[in-house]
Structure 1
């Protein structure tokens, strides 16, 4: 092998060696910076104070337990609280969450449904609301118990009133922004399709037992009378209820839809049974 060939091979080896060194450097840099970026993207929350204050609190009837939270996040995130007692979730009412960005303070609260219920831990979650992307980021530990007594007159801290007012203003703004958005053609089509489906199911649920009463004989006619009576009962109940109190059946279309769907299921089952026993269609 001549000198020229040896030089070429040496040059190729040097280039190859340099390439692997560069790849190794890039790998180390990526391993160094990626965790930093991931850590930088997380949301941090900590409890500044509570009201009622203290680590052992008794809440009166219909009284809220408030938490003043400080947050720091690089992307919009919601903040939710979940009270626990001895490691199990407690059935309580909790505050909703708006979207938070940057740094600031947030107000969270919960209230008891039943006297005697207790809380010894409040887990604070932050994220987009999904199971995988809303981890527990902070925990408050103390003891809060529900009392059946009426709340005594006491002054709330200024931060409770101020943050409640800010939260309500943010909710009102979000509501107005949502209502001001133009309705898309897809939304209109979806709504019209839903209403048409409700109308078809409602009419079919009324017509099916009426058809059975007209066509069937004997015990089958009596059986068809059962869904017919159900539908008539619900309709009469809505008519009588709204005549005395117009707000008593605000969701009456859904009531008719539900009983009509049940009527269709009953009639379809009986039609299959008639064919099985050779009674015709």
Structure 2
């Protein structure tokens, strides 16, 4: 029981941290600066054939005058290939190294890797890396041993992520963040109650208008259940981020409906 309570507290703290980062990205404009990326090496080298969940790592060097996150995407031709990718810690200003990776659990082909550096959710630099990669979808036995630089940078990234989370936990919390966090956490339940209420009260075109958020929110709910069953610690994140928009829509519809009723009665 103590272990489960500790896990829930850590998951809640992680979720709060992610939501705070999203709020800061919405409320603050980024300071633009000079950012450069370059490829040092890859593991395995290209061309390569990779197995089920096998990772293709790119060893990057960076130069930046501001803190950045570094992300990676995979492409085949002009189409983005849905991939599992590395999380990014916050890399400090200066020169350094980064490890980014992509992986697949099903057969896939990739001919281009795009690495980008973001500051406050705005792209600052991008580098295209031509590759010839094929994922077979078959588990490789025995698993290939990663290069030594991967283990080194993986440990550094984990240390950065933990330090970033710990610094966020220990910082003074502004009042507006607590208010917004509270409102976002309760937007989901309030939306559900209002959705049911309006569907019962409204008729004809007003009922159709009230149905607009239902389809996307059902999709979000299905995804949330799937993420929960998959064991994700942040499974309600998408639901929390989308519920306020659905709630604002219904509040706006309710306001328009009341104005229309008053106008028709005069």
Within a 5 Å distance, the mapping from 1:100-115 to structure 2 comes to 100-115=92-107
Offset of 1:129 from its aligned partner? 5.5
Residue 139 of structure 1 corresponds to which residue in structure 2?
128
Q: Which has the larger radius of gyration?
A: 1
**Aligned-residue offset at 1:102:** 1.3
Aligned equivalent of 2:81: 90
What's the TM-score once normalised by structure 2's chain length? 0.58
Unaligned runs of 5+ in 1: 1-40, 214-218, 235-240
Contact 2:76–2:109 (Cα < 8 Å) also in 1: yes
* Matches of 1:257 and 1:127, distance apart in 2: 26
What is the aligned counterpart of 1:170 among 160, 170, 173? 160
Greater than 4 Å deviation, 4+ residue runs = 192-210, 249-275
1:8 aligns to what? none
- CA separation in 2, counterparts of 1:110 and 1:163? 15
Distance 1:187 1:56 in 2: 48
Q: 1:74-130 CA distances to partner (integer Å, 9 max, x unpaired)?
A: 332332222222233222122232223212211111112531x21112222224255
Work out whether residues 61 and 146 of structure 1, in 8 Å CA contact, stay in contact via their aligned partners in 2: yes
Q: How many Å separate the matches in 2 of 1:75 and 1:164?
A: 22
8 Å contact 1:52–1:66 — kept in the other structure? yes
Please state if 1:68 is matched with 2:59.
yes
Q: 2:147 aligns with which of 157, 176, 179?
A: 157
CA contact (8 A) 1:206 1:263 kept: no
Paired residues, what number? 210
Aligned to 1:189: 179
- What secondary structure is seen at the aligned counterpart in 2 of 1:159? helix
* Larger relative contact order (CA 8 Å, sep ≥ 6): 2
1:204 Cα shift? 4.6
TM-score when scaled to structure 1?
A: 0.56
CA distance in structure 2 between the aligned counterparts of 1:110 and 1:74, rounded to whole angstroms: 27
Structure 2 residue runs without a partner (length 5+): 1-32, 219-224
Relative to structure 1, the CA distance from residue 265 to residue 102 in structure 2 (aligned partners, 3 Å threshold; closer, same or farther) is: closer
